[in-house]
Amino acid sequence: MNVINDDTYEVESAKKKIKLDLPLQVGFFVYQYAKLRMLQFYYDCLDTYLDRSDYEYCEMDTDSAYIAISGESVEELVKPGLREAFENDKCNWFPRSDTTEHVKYDRRKPGLFKVEWEGDGIVSLCSKT
């Protein structure tokens, strides 16, 4: 732990042992599927149901997307003529919240998009740009 000033500390953590037991094919599939799923979300969900003036991608990686939206939620920005279609298709993109069983099942379901952070601003350093 490094002391930067009286109120700020820097903590660095490193693994002492790395276990490489994932078959190459599985790792490659998961990586490719994650990239495909992110593109599907953009083109098949956001670009279909929302007007492009209502959202803007700030940053995206294989497992996360930071998107600025012009409303409180994605649901309120859906084009009026596509609300029913969005409600029918929403379970393919977001966890269901209609029953306790669905909440438990979808909590860790791969390929669904969950809000992990929300706020009014973002400052980021994108290493891949």
Residue 28 is which amino acid? F
Q: Which is it for the CA torsion 92, 33, 69, 121, positive or negative?
A: positive
Q: Can you give the pLDDT at residue 62?
A: 80
Q: Enter the pTM of the model.
A: 0.73
Per-residue model confidence as pLDDT tens digits over 24-81: 899 899 899 999 999 999 999 999 999 999 999 988 888 888 899 999 889 999 999 9
Query: In angstroms, how far apart are the furthest CA atoms of the chain?
Result: 56
Q: Can you give the pLDDT at residue 128?
A: 62
Residues 6+ apart with CB under 8 A from 48: 82
Q: Can you give the pLDDT at residue 109?
A: 83
Cβ distance 58 to 68 under 8 Å? yes
